[in-house]
Homo-oligomer: A and B are copies of this chain.
Amino acid sequence: MRTSSIGRPREFDPEVALEKAMVVFWAQGYEGASLTDLTEAMGISRKSLYAAYGNKEELFRKALKHYEQGPGAYVAEALRAPTAREVAMSFLAGAARANTLPALPAGCLGVQGALAAGDTGRTARDFLAEWRARGQALLGDRFRQAVAEGDLPAGADPEKIARYVMTIANGVAVQAAGGATCEDLQQVADAALRNWPPA
């Protein structure tokens, strides 16, 4: 992914190719995506892939980062909502939408990329688990701030609320992978946030 002014210039756009790789990992999971699948989708050779991204694991990490800034951008956006309740509503609405985008795989890369794995996928699986925990921690931080501001009741437990909201989002991802529509999932989100705060 490094650029150099000297030498033969790269013939492909690393960002475009990374987007293609992201889609393959998203649809097939880390272990289910072979280098042949990836290079064919990206339109580059194995050698170019290794030169530009390191190896399969690093490519996966970079694809996840790309996901975070693309389809997964709803997370950061939701965290900026003015009240805790709006954070939760925006987060779950964003999940319902991002998990059912028409031209992209159903579900969430962070969930189905590697939920269970054999030896070769263990690193990717742990990496994804940390990624999800990080997102949940961000929600918890935001809710803690809301408690401090009086936006949430003083007795409320920010971590528990974050876990609650993230559990719904995780469920939404599984439902989307099974074919649920955005409307289906928005209704679930509405039902889950009917009483607030949930814990």
**Which A residues are within 8 Å of any B CB, using their own CB?**
26-29, 31-34, 37, 105, 107, 111-113, 115-121, 129, 132-133, 160, 163-164, 166-175, 177-180, 184-185, 187-188, 190-192, 194-195, 198-199
Contact = CB atoms under 8 A, between A and B. Distances in A.
B178 A164 contact: no
Nearest to A118: B32
Copies of the protein in its oligomer: 2
Closest 6 CB pairs of A and B: A171-B171, A32-B118, A170-B174, A167-B171, A29-B116, A112-B116
Given A29-B118, A118-B37, A175 B167 contact: yes
A190 B129 CA distance: 24
A117 B177 contact: no
A20 to B, nearest CB: 16
B116 A28 contact: yes
Contacts of A180: 163
Contacts of A121: 32
Nearest to A128: B178
Contacts of A185: 167
